[in-house]
Amino acid sequence: MGFFDLFNSTPAKSSTKCECDVCSKEINLEDGYLLTTKDIITKRAYWEYAFTHQWDYVHNLYGSTSDDSVKKLFLVNLIIDRANQETPWALCESCSNLFAFDKKTAKRYAQKNICPLNTGHADFEGARLATVALMDAWEKIYHEKLPDLTREIRV
């Protein structure tokens, strides 16, 4: 075998009709983009969107306990759950405007339904950057600073 091994032909999505992994809208994959877990979760805008949409209950839940370790664990679990996503993320056109990425490449992956390079769960750096992104989003939306959660992320 040379440097490049046999092509792994597992498609990125099992159907080219799929949901946008940010807003859940149904899309044709070729009209969207394919990105990796790390690409998405390290962006502040991803967490801003989540906290103002599907996870808008999180802030109240966070505030409903005075136990700091429970609070931390709750948010860290959210991050870890996202960071552990193994499959590529599809993005609709509208969500693609939430943050900057290489649209041309991500579009090619979507049109061919193949996994982007480095598909899989986020690495340690990705999980830490996601934590920083979540903390920034939280402060921006709720005008309240979170305790430093980066120390809670371990390999």
Binding site for Zn ion (CB under 5 A): 20, 22-23, 92, 95
Beta carbon nearer to Zn ion, 31 or 125: 31
CB of residue 92 vs Zn ion: minimum separation in angstroms?
Answer: 3
CB of residue 146 vs Zn ion: minimum separation in angstroms?
Answer: 26
- In whole angstroms, what is the distance from residue 40 CA to residue 65 CA? 29
Beta carbon nearer to Zn ion, 20 or 127: 20
CB of residue 91 vs Zn ion: minimum separation in angstroms?
Answer: 6
Beta carbon nearer to Zn ion, 41 or 149: 41
Give me the amino acid identity at 113: N
Tokens of 16: 């080219």
- In whole angstroms, what is the distance from residue 34 CA to residue 84 CA? 17
C-beta atoms surrounding 55 within 10 Å:
13
